[in-house]
Structure 1
Amino acid sequence: MSIIIIPTWLILLSGFGQIFTALIYPYIRHRVFDWYNDVKQLKPLNQEIAKTYGRYIQGLNFGFGLIAILLPHDLQNGKALAIALTGLIAMYWIGKVATQIAYYPMYDIPKKQLFKWGGYGMNLLFVLFAVVNAALVYVNLKQYFEI
């Protein structure tokens, strides 16, 4: 059995990218989507629910990034927990990419060049996160089942 290893630098790049998405998230909501003004139109409870889910997204992105940075070797050690965790992270980002493709093109994003190129960059990052973590799932499954 030959063990495939995902380069540590690629896992770290993915980790730093995920933290970047968490940190840039408030700027995007505010400047690109005018999210806060839209949320103000909701009933108070729905405002809090929307804000809470926004924080969940930000927290997950940050947490997934921190795990990748602090534990890159543990994410591909072939153990059950590595399969579960990389599977969760992969499905999270695959779902994000699918949502991005299916729904976001229908909406009008401000036409500034920064937002246009930023959108391309963010989409590229989302694909990177999905691919790296899907590859980690593959590597872990291969080791776990000694295929």
Structure 2
Amino acid sequence: MNPIIPNWLIIASGCGQIFTALIYPYIRHQVFDWYNDVKQLKPLNQEIAKTYGRYIQGLNFSFGIIAITLPNDLKNQSNLAIAVTGLIAAYWVGKVATQIAYYPMYDIPKRRLFKIGSYFMNMLFLLFAVVNTLLFIHNSIR
């Protein structure tokens, strides 16, 4: 098999996805003041918002673990490889599309760290989307 994506790039993408999961609480708290906004919701809606935040964090972490531990399986052109890379690609392409379409309308605090961080995170999201989309295409062409 002639792999379309080298393992090191898949693993680097996985490490980045784990990084996004680990940094997510900091971004919510320090950049977006998310917890204070959530406190304004009704109690049930607070729990729903927190649950979805945990889902995002868990998915990012899980996708990273899969990429780090199973890079060959993610490109072996099996039905499962198609399904998993398709899911991960759709997730990150959706994230990038949302980032482009909606986030520019909002003010992010002007601290230099946050400005640099936003560019770095956007590059990571784009990397995840590209790597997994290429894996999905590779797996789908058999």
TM-score bracket, normalised by the shorter chain, equals over 0.9
**Residue 141 of structure 1 corresponds to which residue in structure 2?**
140
Provide structure 2 residue ranges, at least 5 long, that are not aligned to the other structure: none
**Residue 52 of structure 1 corresponds to which residue in structure 2?**
51
| Same amino acid, percent of matched pairs | 76
Distance 1:139 1:4 in 2: 8
The alignment status of 1:18 with 2:17, answered yes or no, reads yes
**Residue 81 of structure 1 corresponds to which residue in structure 2?**
80
**Residue 100 of structure 2 corresponds to which residue in structure 1?**
101
Report the TM-score when normalising by structure 2. Answer: 0.98
Distance 2:110 2:89 in 1: 31
The alignment status of 1:120 with 2:141, answered yes or no, reads no
**Residue 34 of structure 1 corresponds to which residue in structure 2?**
33
Aligned pair count? 142
**Offset at residue 4 of structure 1 (A):** 4.2
Distance 1:98 1:80 in 2: 26
Provide structure 1 residue ranges, at least 5 long, that are not aligned to the other structure: none
Distance 1:100 1:55 in 2: 19
Residue 59 of structure 2 aligns to which amino acid in structure 1? Answer: L
Does the CA-based 8 Å contact 2:15-2:68 persist in structure 1? Answer: yes
Report the TM-score when normalising by structure 1. Answer: 0.95
* Superposition CA RMSD, Å: 0.9
Secondary structure, in 3 states, of the residue corresponding to 2:141? helix
CA displacement, residues 70-114 of structure 1 (integer Å, 9 cap, x when unaligned): 000000000000000000000000000000000000001000000
Distance 1:11 1:98 in 2: 21
